[in-house]
Structures are given as structure tokens and as C-alpha cells.
Amino acid sequence: MEKEAKEQEVNADKLVFLLVEATSSNQRATWELPLHFLDDYLLFFMAGGEGRITVDGRFKELRTGGLYLRRPGELVGAKAWNLDGRGLYAIRFRALAWDAAAAETGSYIGRAKGSGGELFLPAVNELILRASLSADGLCESIVRSVNHEDGLERLGARIQLQELIRMMLLEAREVREDDYETRLEQVRTYMEKHHARKLSLDELAEVARLSVRHFMRLFKQRYGRSAMDELTVYRIAQAQNLMRAEGRHPIKDIAQHVGFRDETYFRRTFKKISGVPPAAFIRNARQKIAAYHPEAIGVLLALYIVPSAAPISHPWTEYYRRKYATDQVLPLSDDHQQKLEQLRAEAPDCIIVHEGELNAEEKAELLTIAPLSEMRAAVDWRTRLRLIAGELDRAGAAEAWLERYGRKADFVRTQLVERLGNIRLLVLKLAGTRLMLPKRYSVASVFYDDLRLEAPDELVRTEEDFEIEPERLSNWQFDRILMIVQQDEESQQTWHSLNRHNAWKQIEAVRLQRVELFPANLLSEYTAFTHDLILDEVLNIWRDPA
């Protein structure tokens, strides 16, 4: 561990930190960061108050005196409440390599070039600073000076950011003995960094500073699978990334590179997790599949396919560039004619469209470029996944993914029952000025079908969103409400108005403060991959049920 700390210092001293933005809660009692993909590093410091942060579906408390660092490409959202006079600071910055080659490009980096993928700056899941008052002063000064009219003041803010990062890295060497969650996260980071060599439970337990038995129990309780299973899944994911790369690596070399010494065992494990043998995965990875419709992205990713092209305006486009370590993704223009020209130049093997989105002329144009595979509209997401998988010769991948999803849903349901008991849940959607019951094929299916939460007897699930008045809900029988509120200004204003509506306030779940908000911006699509992320978010929603 001491060696790793020294390596980290070497990486840090090769970086220049550029301050992008610095904000504070400004005396507000509450603060919220909508769920989104980070373009820059994001540092939180909780000077006073309570809160929670979600990173790629994983939940963490924000505690007073806590510092948290998240990296570009991560899916991050956060909330804070009970903020006192000091409150919370959020600082965005970029890390630039100081060497001449990187300086010429001017592009910021999240990973070191030529270092085997080692991170320049590690994620900090939580660091309770001993020098919290010093950090508080630095953050306050950075916020005050970042947009100052005096250039020397702005320079001071950048210098203070550097001092804050130095303080963070120094204190990150020590972790509180009773902070099990941070120690388990350290183990995950350790496994990812050292996955290529043989790792034992004894070694992982030593990293966590726990007995092997205690470590095994805590890890499975926290993540739903054993540490060795987690390591195996990560190794296979790394193997998949290598197989997607332009280079042609022998399967034996790939197996050894990601930590498998036995090629036969690697092949068997790869097929079990990926649904297809390694050779078939490599052959399939050479195909270029274009996602014409945004929801095709969430179908393809569940089949371990990174689209060769996808809509530029969709947030997933940048996400899977980073998530799957690929720059081979063509961002498709929103302009129809330009999009067609891009696809002709790309020459994909197949284009995934949505049933009913194209008129006859558009369909004919696309067919001159490549065969089309249509996502069915009036079917559930599992059927849609299987149909697309069958057309793309990925049936095995679909079944392997669905099996894993089912196990994860069972684990999440068990956790929910322990926290909430057997409840009746009402899922509502608010868009613009309309309060609606979500249609059958929507996010609501995760809760009613996959997690098997009981719906109110009065609920009839329809083929389209069904508008409903608050007065009709007053006599329905349910324990909790999950509200899906769109992020646009009109929807937010309607939500605030609804909270002042007499009929709404008389609903028992509302009176008992058992209404939870669900992020509608990124997780509202009806796709396999999105539903998998929702399962992670569920445990965050009801982390501390009333």
C-alpha cells in the first residue's frame, strides 16, 4: 500500500489542475445535483449538513467534514439537506499533463497515457478530513475568487485548488478503522488495478484490514456477490474491451493479460458471463452496428455491443465512449440529411431503428445503406432484447444478461423487503402540467414486474400514459409513492404547485412523507441497460425509509 501511495504522488506531480467552476450552497437549506455524466473531475466538500451521492448506481452518504472526488465519465447525482451556514462546496476541475505532447493537444485526461491505464487521480469515495477547517477555508476562498475580476485573485483560486488536492491526497493515505464501506471500495479499486495477477481472498481481506470471513460476509452483503465473482466479472469486461480493440490479440494472450492462467477455464468463464465463446465475441465485435434510435443504445449495451454510431444529442453517446474505452463511436447529427451522409460514410453492417419512427421514404433511404433491425413497440423490454439479439446472432448474450439481471433483481428485492416490508407502491409520472399513471411498458415495470412490488388494487396498467387527478387517488390503497418528475421548468413548477394542492396533501402517503422522487432525465428509457441502472438506484431511493 505504501508503494501505491508513492506511485500516486508521482502521477499527481505530472498534472496541472485547471479550475472550471466552484459553487457553494449559498445559505440554502437543501441542494441537489441532477444525475448526469461528468465531463470533468468533481470534488465535493460537506462543510456542514447531511446528504447522499450516487456514482454509477452505487450509493454513499455525504457526511459533515467529508470530501469526495469523482472522475470524468462517471454517472453522478447528489442531494444535500439540513445545510448550515457553511453548507456544501462543489468544485469542477480538469487535469492536464504538463509534458510537451499533451500540452500541444490541450486535451484533458482522466487516465495516464502509457501507464497501463493507471489513474492519475484516484476516486475518493469518502475522506473525513482532520484539517476540515483548513479545507473549509480553502473552498470558501476558491468560490469567492474563481470569477473575480482581478486576474491575480483568479490565479489564487487555482493555487488554492492545488493545495486542496494535495491535502486530499495526503490524508487519503489513512482511513478510519471503522469505515467498512470505504475499505470495501478500496478493495474494489485494488482489484481493478491488480486484476491481471493472481489475487487471493487473504490478500483482499488484508487490503480491507479484515479477517477473511468478515470480509467475505461484508462484501457480499454490500454488493450482492462475492469478491471473487466481482473480480471475475471485471476481468471478463476487460477481456471484452481488448477484443473490441483494433489490434488482433490471440485469445490465449488476452486470457493471461486479464488474469487467467488457464485458457480453457477462461473460455468457459467467458461464455458463461458473455453468453458467447471468445471467438464468436471477437467476430461479432468486428461488426458495425449503428443505433439510429436513441433507445437502441440501451438494447445494444446489454448485448455487449458498443454502437459504431449513435445520436449525438443523447447523453449515452459520451458515456459509452468512456465506459468502454472506445473512440470508435460516430456521433450522428440531429439533421436528417447529414445523418444519412454520415451513415453512408460509416457503412454499418446493420442499423437499429424503432418500429413506427420511419415513414416509407426514410426507411427506403436507410435500406440503401444497410439492413434494418426494428425494435418492436408493443412488446416488453425482455422480448425486445431477445428479438434484436436473435437478428444479430446474439441470443446467447441476451440470455446470459437476463439471467444476471434476474439475480440482481432478486437481491435488490430482498434488500427492499428488509427495509420496507411488503408495501403497495404507486408510481406516478409528471410531465409538463400532466400528472399521469405510467404506461405498461415504462420504468414502472421495474418496480411492478422485476421487483414484484404490489400495486394498488385500483391501478389498471394501460398501453399509454393515463392522466389522473389527485382527487381520484385519495381513496386508493397504497403505502408509498414514487414520483417521476421531468427536469424541464414547466414540470418542476407543476410539481411545486402539486405539493400545495389540497387533494394531494390529503393523501396518506403524502401526509406521512412517503413520497420519493425518481430521476427522470437519464433513467426513464424503457431498455434493458437502463433498467439495470435503475436497480442500483432503487436502493438509494429507499436508503433511509420513513
Q: Which helix (H) or strand (E) holds 333?
A: none
d(CA 54, CA 38): 12
Question: Against a cut of 0.85, is the pTM above it?
Answer: no
Strand order in the sheet with 88-97: 15-24, 88-97, 41-46, 66-70, 124-128
End-to-end Cα separation, the chain, in angstroms = 41
Query: DSSP characters for 22-41?
Result: EEE-TT-S-EEEEEEE-SSE
Please, are residues 446 and 534 in contact by the beta-carbon 8 Å criterion? yes
Q: How many CA atoms lie within 13 A of 402 on its CB side?
A: 15
SS3 category, 20: strand
User: How many residues does this entry show for the chain?
Assistant: 546
435 C-beta neighbours (distance < 10 Å), count: 22
pLDDT number for residue 99: 57
pLDDT number for residue 175: 54
pLDDT number for residue 39: 84
pLDDT number for residue 98: 64
Question: Which tops the pLDDT comparison, 312 or 463?
Answer: 463
Q: Which of 142-156, 177-191, 236-250, 401-415 has the lowest mean pLDDT?
A: 177-191
Does residue 97 register a pLDDT over 80?
Answer: no
> What cell was used for 37?
455524466
Q: Residue 133 is which amino acid?
A: L
Residue 25 backbone phi and psi in degrees, to 5 = -75, -10
State the average pLDDT over residues 268-288: 90
**How wide is the angle at C-alpha 272 spanned by C-alphas 270 and 277, nearest 5°?**
50
> What cell was used for 526?
424503457
State the average pLDDT over residues 83-107: 70
375: β partners:
354
Q: Which of 3-12, 77-86, 226-235, 400-409 has the lowest mean pLDDT?
A: 3-12
